[in-house]
A and B are shown apart, each in its own frame.
Chain A
Amino acid sequence: MENKPLYSVAATFNDVNKTLAAVQKINEAGYKNYDVHTPYPVHGLPHAMRLKSSKLGWVTLIFGFSGALFAFLFMYWVNVIDYPLIVGGKPFYQLPAYIPVMFEVTVLSAAVFTVVWMLFIIFKFPNNSHPLIDTEYMKRVSVDRFGISIQANDDLFELNKVKEFFKNLGAEEVFEIYYKIDELKDKPKIFDKKFISFLALTSIVVSAITYFVLNQLLFMSPFNWMHEQFRLNPQKATTVFKDGFGMRNPVEGTVARGYLPYPFKGKPADAEMKLVNPLIPTKQVLELGKEKYLTFCSPCHGNFGFGDSRLRGQFPNPPTLHSDRLRNMKDGGLFHIITEGQNVMPGYASQLTTDERWAIVHYIRVLQRSVNPKESDLR
């Protein structure tokens, strides 16, 4: 073929000892740019080729060390500086507990970087356009032959001399290896049709998937953070109960807290007879009674129980609280009236707790006594 540059002349041998001997002769002849290709690593061959031993170990050491250091510093920062938490009663800085992760990260970074360095930096892989790839020579060397390739750019290279040399060394076959000229000429363009369509397709597919995942999938069960759950939320319908309501009414006879059922409903006489004021008229009780009276009772009954409230005229005036009937009525009777109401007056059971009502009763007594004091009070 015309104008194709020669890469090397390569020869195959069928015996490993012959190959080694050949390498010796090549060194003696002074060739420097050559390589030996074998289907498996042959002992003693790198030494015969005067190759220096691999320095890959240093890469491993440096990256391994960095991995360990990085892991240690990260864990230290997380546990001691950023968010110190007491875990298991241990101090924030716990070197023994850091060791396992440091070890793993060391191994990971050392191993991965060693391989990556070797493949991509030392070997400069991937390289499928090397002239030796896809040649008959390579096919032999893959199976059971040992090959030596002397490159054309060696100072002492001369095509026929090298071919003769190989024949004298006992080579089985001799090949001329050329660069693949098409590959050399064929520079990839950025706006290549295939490449652009590949980019377009990838972006469409990725966008579609992203949209689907973020806008649709994450709202479908079970990916939707348990938004839908089997429990009944308030005011949801259900088929579990006959009436279709999720919410149920309280059981018959249920009472709210603090509101015990009143046993004397509609029985004022019984209430007066049986109920006894449980509170002692202490200062606190009277103050409570006063506060509640002024809030709830004074709008109709007036501030002092005379029935002369601000609502006079707008509501039927209540009778005075200082009447004999009321002064003689027992506390239980007064309590009953406050609880159930009487005539126009509504019951205050839903607005006042029992204690508050009893306190009001005490206050009423205070008011009554102030209007109709005993002799002893006036002295």
Chain B
Amino acid sequence: MRTIDYTIEPPVVEGKPSLSSINEDIARPLETKPTKGWYIAISISLTMLLIGAVSLAITFIEGIGVWGLNQPVGWGFDIVNFVFWVGIGHAGTLISAILFLLRQRWRTSIARFAEAMTIFAVMCAGLFPAIHTGRPWLDGYLLPYPNQHALWVNFTSPLLWDVFAVSTYFTVSLVFWYIGLIPDLATLRDRTTNKIKKVIYSILSLGWRHSTKHWNHYEMAYLILAGFATPLVLSVHTIVSFDFAVSIMPGWHTTIFPPYFVAGAVFSGFAMVQNVLIIIRKVFKIEHIITLDTLEKMNKVMLATGMMVGYAYAMEFFIAWYSGNQIEQFVFLNRALGPYAWSYWIMVSCNVLFTQLFWFRKIRRSIPVMFVIGVLVNVGMWFERFVIVVTSLSRDYLPSSWGMYIPSIYDIGILIGSFGLFFTLIFLFIRTLPVVSIAEVKAVLPNSQPSHGGNH
């Protein structure tokens, strides 16, 4: 049995690096030319993005009819992808805001990257409400603009709540991320010798001069933002779940949807963050900053949230029986045994079964295995949204209304494009901005804080 020493604080960063080495390690990718690997990676993601762009162009020119949507399945890939990407975004806010409030110091090395991923994921998610109207240049009409025919949006519809929730989430995440970047941008400004970069960093850092008088307010603002971001992130996926749960569709109208969706979002988000971090830490040689311990903790969070998702499945199933509602019972049997059963079993095995491997410490600390499990979790969570949306719609109350949904090539193209957008943004991010929060990591290094035994 391995021996842990509980008397000492586990170090956040390995190897006791100096303050200046943190600067060097994190700023280095911003000051060197991109590697061949980076060019290959971004070419792949740009290709995927291009596929999506072409699919979108055809969708706009030809109309939404080129998608696979029909009656009764009026919601397909568009909303599945939307919910998927919003979910991915939640990990970032959880890591930066919630773990901050819980004073979990291991978050410092991954918070910046995770927040960036949140913003990019929310951008990908925001694509879908924007394009699903078929004429996105008219999307302005979705907002409550003053007009003479007393025409207003339906404030009582969860689809409108989504508009407010996702845009608020994007704005607040962006603001939170930017605030965190200001001290680092100032550091880069002070370090760079390139004239153009100096101008850019100076403008973006707003003249930050590391003054304690400013840090004092800054820390309060950070705490307030974290305090707001926490209920915000819970509310966003809750409101997304309301899209389904306020309806009377069997399989959708169930009160556990809000916390179930939130847990699922954190689950898939952490899987994506874990996957990308594994690659980044290797490529940038910052394995001592983004440590194996951090990855293990993330896997534990995945295990916990995965089990919450499993709990929700069990509750839905049990209450479907308990309620005596035959249609609800049918929906669940249909999910497991009907025409889309293959997607259901992918979902259950990826989300519930494979995740259980994380009970074993060896697996939690094995990079290849955890990477694979992370990928499977994302697959499983995508399929969960697919199962929820498509099975409930394809077979609801009246058998004469039943129908199948088959995605078209453009649906798939847009999905590929969203991944392309996400990864392109990440690749651009890692070469233009520091992927780890320099100031925050410095603040948690050993001996970085004064050693006083006393009281404040």
Contacts and interface: CB of A to CB of B under 8 A. Distances in A.
Instruction: State yes or no: do A and B touch (Cβ within 8 Å).
Output: yes
Given A114-B224, A130-B209, A104 B218 contact: no
Interface stretch (B41-49, B407-415, B421-429, B439-447): B439-447
Contact of A51 (B20, B23, B216, B442): B216
B215 A104 contact: no
B171 A112 contact: yes
Interface in B144-188: 144, 150-152, 154-158, 160-161, 164-165, 167-168, 171-172, 175-176, 179, 183, 186-187
B175 to A, nearest CB: 5
A144 B235 contact: no
Contact of A115 (B158, B164, B225, B443): B225
A191 interface: no
Interface in A40-75: 40-47, 49, 51, 53-54, 56-57, 60, 74-75
A39 B161 contact: no
Interface stretch (B200-208, B305-313, B365-373, B393-401): B200-208
A110 B151 CA distance: 28
Interface string A78-96: 1100110001101000100
B221 interface: yes
Given A107-B231, A107-B232, A111-B172, A39 B210 contact: yes
A113 to B, nearest CB: 10
B432 interface: no
Interface residues of A, number: 69
A36 B219 CA distance: 15
A16 B442 CA distance: 12
Contacts of A115: 175, 179, 221, 225
B61 interface: yes
B2 interface: no
A100 B235 contact: yes
A82 B213 contact: no
Interface in A117-132: 118-119, 122-123, 125-130, 132
Contact of B235 (A35, A45, A103, A138): A103
Contacts of A159: none
Contact of A42 (B160, B209, B212): B212
B452 interface: yes
Nearest to B24: A143
A251 interface: no
Given A35-B211, A78-B155, A107-B228, A125 B20 contact: no
B220 A142 contact: no
Contacts of A39: 19, 183, 187, 210, 438-439, 442
Interface residues of B, number: 72
Contacts of B206: 119, 123, 125-128
B257 interface: no
B156 A94 contact: yes
B448 A104 contact: no
Nearest to B178: A115
A238 interface: no
B172 A139 contact: no
B156 A143 contact: no
Interface string B98-136: 000000000000000000000000000000000000010
Contacts of A133: 202, 207, 209
A190 interface: no
Given A75-B155, A123-B214, A128-B207, A100 B165 contact: yes
A20 B228 contact: no
Nearest to B456: A47
Given A16-B449, A101-B160, A118 B218 contact: yes
Give the most central of B23, B165, B209, B235: most A CB within 10 Å: B209
B236 to A, nearest CB: 8
B212 A40 contact: no
B35 to A, nearest CB: 26
Interface of B: 18-20, 23, 60-61, 135, 137, 144, 150-152, 154-158, 160-161, 164-165, 167-168, 171-172, 175-176, 179, 183, 186-187, 190-191, 202-203, 206-221, 224-225, 228-229, 231-232, 235, 239, 242, 438-440, 442-443, 447-452, 456
11 contacts: A17-B450, A35-B212, A35-B213, A37-B209, A45-B450, A104-B164, A105-B168, A110-B224, A111-B225, A111-B229, A221-B61
Given A44-B450, A112-B171, 8 more contacts: A39-B187, A40-B442, A49-B212, A83-B152, A105-B168, A143-B20, A143-B23, A143-B191
